[in-house]
Amino acid sequence: MAVDLAYSTEVQQIVDRTEVFIRDVVLPVEDEHDGDITAAGGDALRVELQTRAKEAGIFAPHAPVEFGGLGLNMSDRVPVFEAAGYSLFGPTALGIAAPDEGNVHMLDHIADQAQRQDFLAPLAHGHVRSAFAMTEPAPGAGSDPSALATRAEKVSGGWKINGRKHFITGADGASFFIIMARTSGEPGDRGGATMFLAPADLPGLTVGRHIPTLDRAMVGGHCEVSFDDLLVPDDAVLGEVDQGYRYAQVRLGPARMTHVMRWLGAARRGHDVAVDYVARREGFGDVLGDLGMIQKMVADNEIDIAATRALLVRACYELDLGENAGNATSIAKTFAAEAIFRIVDRSIQMCGGLGVSSDLPLARLSREVRPFRIYDGPSEVHRWAIGKRTVGAAKRAIRESK
């Protein structure tokens, strides 16, 4: 029996409304400001666009229905998030940009009832922004989360947190932070981490400088954050003490896939711009799109788009089944991060000088998608994890056969 890959009428209607909204409302703002969300208005723009998304009935497609969202599962998010990602500002407009989207997902799965009301509800409604504070300066946690150095010490009535973080997306202006801190063991140990919920206005929590990066489409930047005797109460613990790494997987796998969805939309816009250009531009006695070398680049883009989408759909299927999906998400993320950059890069090449100018969106798309090969785990780390799992399975099979 054939596998049904069709989306429900309800989901398709959300996709259709999202495409119209992105085309008519969001893309003109992005184009006017060259994809720089700070120049376009930052948080004020976010509020304005999200208000209009709510009016269109497409806001928070991932969030629980009880908090005003549409409650879509991972598989049904795929075409909606891709449609939103067609504009660099689209995810912010729909409330599905990182890190808020991933934090909504994690809080929905882990938070207790009080935390759901105090943190998840305002975040899902778009009333506030949030940040996820895990990455640290060397020698702390980066690609290797076990190097976690920020420490939380149990004190009377709560926990005292000390440490440094950097590249914390959305930190400037966030209402609260989800902080990963070590509560047992030493840096290098695989366990011993705990997640804490901390309002941004607590004494001892300081947002420092914005770290300049290639991308400019995320509200709140990528910042340095410090915790100096930050005191949080016992009920600030998200989940269980010393189980932070396990809970992080609730967020990280799905968040990698939603990154793929959003940036696939951006790559598809780049491809569409390039195909429209080569179908019109004449050169060498013909329309560029009729030249064999151009057609090869168009075909390779189509292949990368289709392959990325197929790997994404498979990984989301496993996540919806409740499986670990570690291998599927690593494969999809690694392939997608590299394929998406290839798509945009070929699109620039097809458009020649215009491709590297601000007259087309391709240069800024290249600027935005390049970091994806590092964000949410560098390609090299995912390849190492895939290879380790594969060889480990082979070793187990050998042992069991004896």
pLDDT, tens digit (0-9, with 9 covering 90-100), for 220-243: 999 999 999 999 999 999 999 999
Q: What is the DSSP string of 259-286?
A: HHHHHHHHHHHHHHHHHHHHHH-EETTE
Correct CATH for 249-401 of 3.90.1150.10, 3.10.310.10, 3.40.190.10, 1.20.140.10:
1.20.140.10
The pLDDT confidence band at residue 26, using thresholds 50, 70 and 90, is very high
Q: Is the pTM of the predicted complex or chain greater than 0.85?
A: yes
SS3 239: coil
**Which residues, 6 or more positions from 13, have their beta carbon under 8 angstroms from its beta carbon?**
none
SS3 328: helix
The topology (CATH level 3) of 9-97 is Butyryl-Coa Dehydrogenase, subunit A; domain 1 (1.10.540)
Q: Looking at the predicted structure, is the pLDDT value of residue 2 above 90?
A: no
DSSP conformational letter for 234: G
pLDDT, tens digit (0-9, with 9 covering 90-100), for 325-363: 999 999 999 999 999 999 999 999 999 999 999 999 999
Q: Looking at the predicted structure, is the pLDDT value of residue 265 above 80?
A: yes
Helix locations, 116-187, DSSP H: 121-124
Q: Looking at the predicted structure, is the pLDDT value of residue 1 above 80?
A: no
Correct CATH for 130-242 of 3.40.50.10140, 3.30.70.20, 2.40.110.10, 3.60.9.10:
2.40.110.10
pLDDT, tens digit (0-9, with 9 covering 90-100), for 65-91: 999 999 999 999 999 999 999 999 999
